[in-house]
Amino acid sequence: MDEMTLVDWSRLQFALTAGYHWIFVPLTLGLAVIMATMETLYVVKRDEFWKQTAKFWMKLFGINFAVGIATGIILEFEFGTNWSNYSWFVGDIFGAPLAIEGIFAFFMEATFFAIMYFGWNKVSKKTHLVATWLTGIGAAISAVWILVANSWMQHPVGMEFNPDTVRHEMVDFWALVLNPVAISKFFHSVFSGWMTGAIFVIGLSSWYLLKKRETRFALASIRVAAVVGVVGTVALMASGDSSGIHVAKYQPMKLAAAEGLQDGGPQAPFSIVPGVEVPGMLSMLATHDFNGYVPGINDMLNGYTDAEGNVHLSAEQKMERGKTALKAFNDYRALRDTDPVKAEQARKVLDENVEYFGYGYIDSPQELVPNVDLVYWAFRVMVGLGSFLLLLMVVVLWAEWKKKLEGMTWLQWVALLSIPLVYLAGQAGWIVAEVGRQPWVIEGLLPVKAAVSSVSVAAVQTTFWLFVAIFTLFLVIEIRIMINAIKQGPKISNK
């Protein structure tokens, strides 16, 4: 029971840190594109107004970046302290992308940030513009490596387990980088950033409209942000579709949990809310075929045969093979120095069953089912809010196109109040991704309870509450600095 409590606290702490980090990342990704587009307009139109507009959003970008910077490092502390078994077990597969991210991020940020903020009167307009775009591209490249590492945990590829070193060793770097889960996750995350940036800019600009100040600036900002936001959200939906196909293929339990699908089959229905279903739609979304086979939770626990005739083992069978793998792993370690022949036999058994290694730690089939209610509702919050925000951006763009937005106070209020909703949608998305893959820290290979370090629960609880205090303090400071900057405004003439 103590061990479970330790796992729960360690997971909660990681979720808190990752969730806090994700407050800042999407705004960085989205605002970068919006301010770079504004600066492009300045260079193309040679209109000082666009320079001042871009500079204001760069200021908010800088505040967000300053508070968000290094919050991701805490996750790395947690890997070493709370998840040491996992950190060793994954080896360089996880370390290499994070190291590349650190080095690239440092170089790109140190170089292009400096030019973007300090270089207005020191480099040419075009050089400055390139630096601004590269700041955004650099942030996206940083995301690539983080998401490559995360996607490997969701769909481990390009590695082999070495029982001598008790870790996975990379055998194919490109399989790791071009992991289909990583590709769809990258685009889905980056475009969710575009949506966040757009709603943030539209919401704050609406506040200026409500206050009847900086009108030209606000309307121009809304135009740019809404276009970026609509394009980004349509791409977000496309990448979400691709992500759904991959989840159905590589993590069917996550999909079943997100749909609350107990018993699957062909023509599986999509649940809008409990009791309201669209027949065949889940099959369509998961396989691009209305008759596609989608397994339910019970199918996966009891074993099933899919439409192509592939037989999928039951949970009990997987657990049996996992225990065989773990016993072979233990035997190999015990015998390798004393009886090489028996050790080699154990190694062969391990290799034959290694894909079920993690199932050896599972005590009952029910452990393989994530928290269905949480994943189900998080998915609906993500999709529901995403759809609402797309509609909002389209309406705002239409109203601005028809020159009616300035008089539509209700729409300005809706836009302003939508700022927290975009953050909620982003956090809900990560809940679907991370809670949905439980109990695995590495899909099929290592459950959270085997990945956690033997540290005291009290130590994890202490740092958890410490983080709550520190994160709250920094968030309050950020919001205060940002509110001051917003109240001050861009101070641009309306002419």
Partner 1 sequence: MSLNGLRIWYCENMFLFLWSIIPTNWNESTKSYHLNLRNRSVSVDLTMKKTLKNIWNLYYDGFKNMTWGRPLWLLIFLKVIILFLVLRMFFFKPVLSGKNEAEKIEYVGEQLSRTINNNQ
Q: Does residue 450 touch partner 1 according to CB under 8 A?
A: yes
Tokens (6 digits) for 300: 């996966």
Minimum Å gap between C-beta 348 and partner 1 is 19
Candidate residues 4, 12, 44, 114; the one interacting with partner 1 per rule CB under 8 A:
114
CB closer to partner 1 out of 67 and 226: 67
- Kind plus residue range of the DSSP H or E element containing 447: strand 446-447
Q: Does residue 453 touch partner 1 according to CB under 8 A?
A: yes
Q: Give the C-alpha distances (Å, rounded to integers) separating 44 from 37, 121, 221, 401.
A: 10, 18, 17, 21
Minimum Å gap between C-beta 474 and partner 1 is 7
Q: How many CB atoms lie within 10 A of CB 155?
A: 20
Q: Does residue 413 touch partner 1 according to CB under 8 A?
A: no
Q: Does residue 90 touch partner 1 according to CB under 8 A?
A: no
CB closer to partner 1 out of 191 and 440: 440
Q: Does residue 462 touch partner 1 according to CB under 8 A?
A: yes
Of 430, 407, 410, the residue nearest 418 (C-alpha) = 410
Q: Does residue 461 touch partner 1 according to CB under 8 A?
A: no
Interface stretch with partner 1, choices 23-31, 110-118, 211-219, 434-442 (CB under 8 A): 110-118
The interface with partner 1 within residues 163-202 (CB under 8 A) comprises 164-167
Q: How many CB atoms lie within 10 A of CB 292?
A: 20
Distance CA 431, CA 448 (A): 16
The interface with partner 1 within residues 292-351 (CB under 8 A) comprises 323, 326-327, 329-330, 333
Candidate residues 20, 32, 53, 78; the one interacting with partner 1 per rule CB under 8 A:
78
Q: Are 379 and 428 in contact (CB under 8 A)?
A: yes
Long-range contacts, 291-295 (Cβ 8 Å, 24+): 291/266, 291/267, 292/266, 292/268, 293/264, 293/265, 293/266, 293/268, 294/248, 294/252, 294/255, 294/256, 294/261, 294/264, 294/265, 294/266, 294/268, 295/252, 295/256, 295/264
Q: Does residue 103 touch partner 1 according to CB under 8 A?
A: yes
- Kind plus residue range of the DSSP H or E element containing 170: strand 167-170
Candidate residues 449, 461, 475, 486; the one interacting with partner 1 per rule CB under 8 A:
449
Candidate residues 66, 157, 313, 394; the one interacting with partner 1 per rule CB under 8 A:
66
Of 35, 388, 236, the residue nearest 396 (C-alpha) = 388
The interface with partner 1 within residues 142-161 (CB under 8 A) comprises none
Q: Does residue 458 touch partner 1 according to CB under 8 A?
A: no
Q: Does residue 127 touch partner 1 according to CB under 8 A?
A: no
Candidate residues 12, 45, 46, 118; the one interacting with partner 1 per rule CB under 8 A:
118
CB closer to partner 1 out of 122 and 211: 122
Q: Please give the angle made by the CA atoms of 251, 252 and 256, to the nearest 5 degrees.
A: 130
Q: How many CB atoms lie within 10 A of CB 465?
A: 10
Candidate residues 15, 16, 43, 96; the one interacting with partner 1 per rule CB under 8 A:
96
Residue type, 427: Q
Q: Are 38 and 493 in contact (CB under 8 A)?
A: no
Q: Does residue 81 touch partner 1 according to CB under 8 A?
A: yes
CB closer to partner 1 out of 262 and 484: 484
Q: Give the C-alpha distances (Å, rounded to integers) separating 252 from 255, 296, 436.
A: 5, 8, 10
Q: Does residue 59 touch partner 1 according to CB under 8 A?
A: yes
Residues touching partner 1: how many (CB under 8 A)? Answer: 58
Residue type, 29: L
β-strand partners of 276: 273
Q: Does residue 119 touch partner 1 according to CB under 8 A?
A: yes
Minimum Å gap between C-beta 455 and partner 1 is 7
The interface with partner 1 within residues 224-263 (CB under 8 A) comprises none
> Is the alpha carbon torsion for 295, 299, 303, 306 positive or negative?
negative
Minimum Å gap between C-beta 226 and partner 1 is 27
Distance CA 316, CA 335 (A): 28
Over the window 8 to 47, marking each residue x when it contacts partner 1 by CB under 8 A and - when it does not, the resulting string is ----------------------------------------
Minimum Å gap between C-beta 273 and partner 1 is 38
Q: Does residue 4 touch partner 1 according to CB under 8 A?
A: no
Read out DSSP for 271-326?
EEETTEEETTHHHHHHHSSTT-EE--HHHHHH-EE-TT--EE--HHHHHHHHHHHH
Residue type, 64: N
Q: Does residue 455 touch partner 1 according to CB under 8 A?
A: yes
171-182: string of b/e by CB count within 10 Å (b at 16+)? eeeeebbebbbb
CB closer to partner 1 out of 371 and 462: 462
Candidate residues 46, 122, 348, 491; the one interacting with partner 1 per rule CB under 8 A:
122
Residues that bind partner 1 (CB under 8 A): 3, 59, 62-63, 66-67, 69-70, 73-74, 77-78, 80-81, 84-85, 87-89, 92, 95-96, 99-100, 103, 114-115, 117-119, 122, 164-167, 323, 326-327, 329-330, 333, 360-361, 363, 449-450, 453-455, 459, 462-463, 466, 470, 474, 477, 481, 485
